[in-house]
Amino acid sequence: MTVKVTVTGAAGQIGYALLFRIASGQLLGADTPVSLSLLEITPALKAAEGTAMELDDCAFPLLQGIEITDDPNVAFDGVNVALLVGARPRTAGMERGDLLSANGGIFGPQGRAINEHAADDVRVLVVGNPANTNALIARSHAPDVPADRFTAMTRLDHNRALSQLSAKLQVPVTEIRKMTIWGNHSPTMYPDLYHTEVGGKIAAEQVDGEWLRDTFIPTVAKRGAAIIEARGASSAASAANAAIDHVHTWVNGTAPGDWTSAAVVSDGSYGVPEGLISSFPVTSANGQWEIVQGLDIDAFSRERIDLSVRELLDERDAVQALGLI
């Protein structure tokens, strides 16, 4: 059966890096035909048409159709996988309330359209920032969709952490298991090496504490800014790659003895208030995320998790005060 994948902000940088990989089968596998729906704001429809022309020109065997629209009710009609990439970026001098309001105007109606028109098995990944809170807004407008179908992306932070650790310990990334990103997809997120295993041993015990605290954590947290500084543009291909990884793992499951990171609706685990969309160590089986339970959290990790969760609470309170959820 053809799977309908909707990408919002389809004419943007991440959209450009994402669509070709979806159409080539890297999101759902080489046996799954896909149809793409490209949602854009009206002024960007022409650019989306250009991307669609290039998609046509690839003659992808799995690609069954492309729809381009500025109407969320059309874009999300029958959608199975929704990748919410388009968002209002923070511009210089913009107040946080204005940023959240602008995104409420995007993610509220998209949540409603998903509620009314999506397929029963819809899975939603929010990439557009502030991703966790945008996911919260969309979810709150989709009361008929199970809450656990709304997720936000911390897989890029996860992959960045894998790559930094792999370089430090001079091991292939495939030897690293159980990496965890906690909290908000923002510079407060916490990459935790106290449960990560390298060659079967805890990673935090294989690196010195100073490197972990003063190099590893800030490098992962500030990687986005470092890429802007170097490239003169935001990361796009790596963000698209992480979105592919997130959905691929969600649908196909995590490997035995391993887990990944995703921002999912909290059930109160690890003291994260219920209902917040926060990053956790998660496994996936049968198309469902499960938060890994029973990990010991030491004081160092607790402080950092609490800080990031505090930021999520503040964002939630702000969107609540603005009437966006």
Helix (H) or strand (E) holding 320: helix 299-321
Helix (H) or strand (E) holding 167: helix 155-169
85: alpha, beta or left, given left = phi > 0 and alpha = psi -120 to 50? alpha
- R_g of the chain computed on alpha carbons: 19
**Is residue 14 at the binding interface for ligand NDP, with CB under 6 A as the rule?**
yes
Residue with tokens 């003063």: 214
Torsions phi, psi of 281, nearest 5? Answer: -70, 130
Select from 320, 324, 323, 309 the least CA-distant residue to 132.
309
- Which of 15/281 has CB closer to ligand NDP? 15
Instruction: Determine if residue 96 is labeled as part of a ligand binding site.
Output: yes
Rounded to an integer, what distance in angstroms lies between the CA atom of residue 144 and that of residue 115? Answer: 6
Single-letter amino acid, residue 129: N
Out of 3, 11, 100, 217, the only residue in the binding site for ligand NDP (CB under 6 A) is 11
Active site residue 185: yes
- Which of 235/301 has CB closer to ligand NDP? 235
Q: Binding to ligand NDP (CB under 6 A): which residues in 88-107?
A: 88-89, 106
Count of residues of this chain found to bind ligand NDP when the rule CB under 6 A is applied: 27
Q: Site mask, ligand NDP, residues 112-141, x = CB under 6 A?
A: ---------------xxx-x----------
**Is residue 8 at the binding interface for ligand NDP, with CB under 6 A as the rule?**
yes
Q: Binding to ligand NDP (CB under 6 A): which residues in 250-309?
A: none
Q: Site mask, ligand NDP, residues 237-256, x = CB under 6 A?
A: --x-----------------
Instruction: Determine if residue 282 is labeled as part of a ligand binding site.
Output: no
Q: Residues 251, 28: contact at Cβ < 8 Å?
A: yes
Torsions phi, psi of 193, nearest 5? Answer: -100, 5
**Is residue 212 at the binding interface for ligand NDP, with CB under 6 A as the rule?**
no
Residue with tokens 């796009």: 236
Instruction: Determine if residue 159 is labeled as part of a ligand binding site.
Output: no
- Output the known binding site for substrate: 90, 96, 129, 160
Query: Residues annotated in the binding site for NAD(+), as ranges?
Result: 9-15, 103, 110, 127-129
Q: Which residues are catalytic?
A: 185
Residues of this chain that interact with ligand NDP (CB under 6 A) are 8-9, 11-15, 39-41, 44, 85-89, 106, 127-129, 131, 156, 224, 234-236, 239
